[in-house]
Homo-oligomer: A and B are copies of this chain.
Amino acid sequence: MTCREAWFEQVLDHFSWRNDSRWQQRYYVCQETEQQLANPAATIFFYCGNEGNVEMYIRNTGLMFENAKSFSAMLIFAEHRYYGKSLPFGNDFSAASLRYLSHEQALADYAVLLDDFKRKHKMVRAKVIAFGGSYGGMLSAWFRMKYPHIVEGAVAASAPVLSFHSSDKGPWRSEKYWEIVTRDASGAAGSDERCVPLVRQSWPIIDSMGASESGRESLAALFRLCEPLASPGEVNDLKLFIAMAFDTMAMGNYPFPSDYLTGGIGKLPPWPVREACKLLSSCGDCKAENLLDSLCSAISLLYNASGDQACLHLPEDSSYAGIWDFQWCTEMLPQETYFKRDGKRDMFFPFSISSKEIDQHCKSKYGVIPRRGWIEQLYGGLEGIKRASNIIFSNGEFDPWAAGGVNVSEVKDAAARGVEAVWIEEGAHHLDLFFSHPADPPSVKKARQMEVACISKWLHWKEPKEPSKQRMGAVPISQDD
């Protein structure tokens, strides 16, 4: 299958008319043969691009590629506005320029892009299945919920669609996120039993050293930081930097080497949290300096995945979110740096932020204040999901985002509507979307089978009657209902 880059002149503001600006949206079309474009009954697998360069999703969404042929499907990967090369205002990410960044605008982009694509290629009857992982999975589910005439069904992998206040479930417990990160580092998830206690032991040591200038010098040296730690505030940045390493490795806690969570620069080893915990637990007497030195080795698995970093940089963006922080500051799309920690049920240090502080942050950074109830008003929380149709949600045992996902038990009554959920033991962040790998646990194979079965059902797919007469690579005509 080959993928080609394409561009679409997209509406800037779908929900207002005074500004009729357009911008160039990037997408990729992948197909086996050129014939699929001419095939009015082809299937389209559509990836709902999330907050990154769309090429990353092309490289990693094996589920779409591996099942394209059996559904005679062509693939479209759409890039989300303001990310990758789909930049309505170029590299201007000022608050004023971000005003058209919202998931509603992104979904409308996808609707308009698909509608135009299908008309242009004379395939208006082609059926579309939406795919997405993480925020892309939220988009995938929401795309089906709001545009059911455009997508037959949606695969929503590791999509934290319930990480919001909900009338039926009450306020979301964001603490659960960091508890899952912690669990990944525990014996229950196959990590060294000493790991969680050792991480916990490190915070008071860091705090104590961070209180003095000489202590901060030692800390900077122990953690091989490129810049000195100028203040106790920067020591807090270091602590978050460490916590975020465990967070990222928990998301990326896959059974095979992967560069998905390193942004493509170097690979994490298989089961990176277990590996990090092994490094941490090799701390000898595990007194102050040895402990922190081992902790540095542990987080360097991620931060020096490329192996060529002479020293580590603390990020300047303390939200770790880039412009995603705008999406948090508006619709409160989830960003774990804002989630609660108590240091008891999780292995980190206590953290909480009040609504007022969030408002102040968002107001001063972007001139906006979040509308907290909006996502629930728009989608109806769990109740809304149960009334939707043709969506399969997947969540992984090792993935902290499972904290905001749809549980199997929560939608068991909605199976007749095609709303299903699958739990992936030993699965990290949307493992099911990746290319198959010999190290895959049986759970993810089963999840993928369920997803494919759902797609078959949604498409009313029947195998072509005489497959022996099909040329290799030719496109059988799909059976319509």
Which A residues are closer than 8 A to B by beta carbons?
11, 13-18, 20, 95-96, 99-100, 102, 104-105, 108, 111-112, 115, 119, 124, 146-150, 167, 329-330, 366-371, 373-374, 376-381, 383-384, 387-388
- The minimal Cβ–Cβ distance linking A31 to chain B, given in whole angstroms, is 23
| 8 further contact pairs, Cβ within 8 A, besides A13-B16, A150-B380 | A15-B102, A15-B104, A16-B99, A16-B100, A17-B102, A18-B96, A115-B373, A150-B377
Bound: A15/B331 CA distance, A = 10
Bound: A376/B371 CA distance, A = 29
Which of chain B's residues have a CB closer than 8 A to the CB of A14? 15, 374
Can you tell how many copies of this chain the complex includes?
2
* A330 and B105 contact, Cβ closer than 8 Å, known pairs A146-B146, A371-B11: no
Q: CB distance B104 to A17 under 8 Å?
A: no
Q: CB distance B149 to A380 under 8 Å?
A: yes
Which of chain B's residues have a CB closer than 8 A to the CB of A383? 149
- The minimal Cβ–Cβ distance linking A262 to chain B, given in whole angstroms, is 32
Which of chain B's residues have a CB closer than 8 A to the CB of A17? 99, 102, 329-330, 366, 368-371
User: Of B124, B146, B377, which contacts A115 at CB under 8 A?
Assistant: B377
Which of chain B's residues have a CB closer than 8 A to the CB of A370? 17
Q: CB distance A148 to B387 under 8 Å?
A: yes
Q: CB distance B367 to A18 under 8 Å?
A: yes
Bound: A105/B15 CA distance, A = 8
User: Of B102, B112, B377, B381, which contacts A377 at CB under 8 A?
Assistant: B112
Q: CB distance B15 to A149 under 8 Å?
A: no
Q: CB distance A15 to B18 under 8 Å?
A: no
Bound: A95/B366 CA distance, A = 27
Bound: A15/B330 CA distance, A = 10
User: Of B20, B150, B387, which contacts A369 at CB under 8 A?
Assistant: B20
* A377 and B99 contact, Cβ closer than 8 Å, known pairs A148-B387, A367-B18: no
Which of chain B's residues have a CB closer than 8 A to the CB of A381? 149
Q: CB distance B167 to A124 under 8 Å?
A: yes
Most buried by B among A20, A105, A329: A20
